[in-house]
Amino acid sequence: MAIEQITPGIASEQMEDSTNPAIYLDVRTVEEYEAGHPEGAYNVPVMVRDESGQMVPNPDFKEKVEKIFPKTKRLVIGCMAGGRSQKACQILEAAGFESLANVQGGYGGTRDPSGFIAMKGWSQEGLPIESGNPPGRAYTG
């Protein structure tokens, strides 16, 4: 199965699909998620900070996602720009998840070397956002 590459707008459309709605899985840090995320998104960070503050792979990522979602669930996976979410898609694909899409541009978009927006993210597209840690969707470690 190939990992689908989609824009934030397509992700939003897939989440609103009346026959098979996708779930947005935000794989950014808890702090990034708290500050703002797509409305309805779940948070399971693919990377976490260790004791020294360095970003390291979350050893519980795969198991946490497997506890929340069946492997047949349609997931759209996003981070800040698309790199961490692509890695998360690869981990979940190897674990047997069947319907995965990487949100290119993520929440914050991507920038070119000059600092100009190369690809708009969810927040720049004006799509629905919320902040905080919604019960049942926030990462609990």
Contact of 102 with 5, CB cutoff 8 Å: yes
| Dihedral in degrees, nearest 10, Cα atoms 96, 99, 102, 108 | -110
User: Which of 25, 41, 46, 79 is an active site residue?
Assistant: 79
Does 89 participate in catalysis according to the annotation? no
Amino acid at 84: R
How far are the Cα atoms of 15, 43, 123 from residue 39, in angstroms, in the given order? Answer: 10, 11, 11
Contact of 6 with 101, CB cutoff 8 Å: yes
Amino acid at 55: M
Query: What is the enclosing helix (H) or strand (E) of 48?
Result: strand 47-49
What's the start-to-end Cα distance of the chain, in Å? 29
- Catalytic residue ranges: 79
